[in-house]
Structure 1
Amino acid sequence: MMKKTIAILLFLGMVLGLAACGKSASQTEQPTTEEDSVESRSSMEEAAENSSTDAENMGVPESQPEETDIPDAQESKVLIAYFSATGTTKGVAEHIANGLNADIYEIVPEDPYTDADLDYNNNNSRATIEMSDPDVRPVISGSVENMEQYDIVFIGYPIWWGEAPRIISTFVESYDFSGKTIVPFCTSGGSGMGSSAANLEELTNGAQWISGQRLSGSDTRDTVMEWVNGLGLNFE
């Protein structure tokens, strides 16, 4: 009887011991404190972050702000070309060149004009003979370097017998002005531009001619630039 009682007690002790071990194992597998829960969430977030990083490394595109292409402002290249037999047109041309900080080019005849050549009262003077023949083309000494770089070309000249001197015809026929803007201006003792600009325009192809202006050798730079700035062209 005693032995049977001892056996029952030992059996109950083993059952209780196994139950305690099972409960301990169950408690180890599950977090029982707030700290354990936070650590568990941190591990899950880290895993998700690593997954996102892996996706980027595998070529999954990352959201990028849209880029906007802003073209650089283009500056118009300006040339002031002029012919001046007595210096009057030269002064006006220099006002424009200085006011626009533009390049300047003097149209110089290979055979310079003398005072006798410019004697308008002499029917046999060089100027008189040239202006009586629209096909005359006086030779120019030198040329404009890299004319293709200019977007706007001012062409200045004195008025001879209501027209531009024939050397200006030589000049406009010497270059390709296609796509360029041409602004004529003239000086004279009193007469206007007349048909001088229109006749020159006929000698060019593909150029945009702006209505010209007669200016005086006594005009100040401010007066000349008031006209230039009123043309509505892009000099910036």
Structure 2
Amino acid sequence: MKSIVIYFTQSGTTKNAAEKIASKTNSKIVEMTSKDDYPGDFDDLVAKAKEQIDNDERPTINEDFDLSDYQTIYLGFPIWYRQPPMIIHSFFDKFDLKDKSIIPFITSASSGFSVCTPYLNNMKTNAKIKDGFRSNSDLEIKNALN
């Protein structure tokens, strides 16, 4: 069963986790980016993230991933305002995930994985969303993948 790691990152923390997960699972790895750049300044980024959440904005994803060869998708993202960034909603909206297994992984300085579970459960998808995990450290990744 082939797997792929798809991740969204701003600071590079999620990229670092994605690379470790891809290595441990022998998965292809690709970054998901938004058509409109996010601000580099932290305060501006926080304001943009809040604006997207408040307005239920779905950022346009640059990539058009061909997921036909993959059964398992490790989906990585940071937690913003105790939930997935709105581009994660865009991912579920854009791609046909029928019969795919999605294993989410997050990076967060303060939140555990459970904070985003209600949001993931409410996303309309025909994929099977499996238990996810926080991936801030090598130990968290090792424990989740064993």
Change in Cα spacing, 1:84 to 1:121, as seen in structure 2 (3 Å) is: closer
Q: State the distance in 1 between where 2:85 and 2:52 align.
A: 8
- The reply to whether residue 226 of structure 1 matches residue 146 of structure 2 is no
Of 115, 128, 138, which residue of structure 2 is paired with 1:208? Answer: 128
Change in Cα spacing, 1:144 to 1:121, as seen in structure 2 (3 Å) is: closer
Q: Which has the larger radius of gyration?
A: 1
The percent identity for this pair of structures is 31
Q: State the distance in 2 between where 1:77 and 1:108 align.
A: 23
Of 49, 58, 64, which residue of structure 2 is paired with 1:143? Answer: 64
SS in 1 for 2:113: coil
Give the conservation status (yes or no) of the 8 Å contact 1:186–1:214: yes
Any stretches of 5+ residues in structure 1 without a counterpart? 1-75, 230-236
Q: Count residues with an aligned counterpart.
A: 146
Q: State the distance in 2 between where 1:192 and 1:226 align.
A: 14
Aligned to 1:160: 80
- The reply to whether residue 102 of structure 1 matches residue 22 of structure 2 is no
Superposed displacement of residue 205, structure 1: 3.1
- The aligned runs of 1:30-45 (5 Å cut-off) are none
When the two structures are superposed, what TM-score results if normalisation uses the length of structure 1? Answer: 0.57
Aligned to 2:54: 132
Q: Deviations over 1:98-130 (max 9, x none)?
A: 1111011111111121223x41797xx212211
SS in 1 for 2:14: helix
- The reply to whether residue 82 of structure 1 matches residue 18 of structure 2 is no
Aligned to 1:20: none
Superposed displacement of residue 131, structure 1: 2.2
Q: State the distance in 1 between where 2:24 and 2:145 align.
A: 9
Aligned to 1:174: 94
Identify, as 1 or 2, the structure richer in strand: 2
Change in Cα spacing, 1:120 to 1:228, as seen in structure 2 (3 Å) is: farther
Q: Deviations over 1:39-63 (max 9, x none)?
A: xxxxxxxxxxxxxxxxxxxxxxxxx
Any stretches of 5+ residues in structure 2 without a counterpart? none
Change in Cα spacing, 1:91 to 1:176, as seen in structure 2 (3 Å) is: same
Aligned to 1:93: 18
SS in 1 for 2:74: strand
CA RMSD of aligned residues (A): 2.0
Give the conservation status (yes or no) of the 8 Å contact 2:9–2:15: yes
Q: Deviations over 1:197-221 (max 9, x none)?
A: 33234323332211111221xx12x
- The reply to whether residue 113 of structure 1 matches residue 38 of structure 2 is yes
Superposed displacement of residue 223, structure 1: 4.6
Give the conservation status (yes or no) of the 8 Å contact 2:92–2:125: no
SS in 1 for 2:131: coil
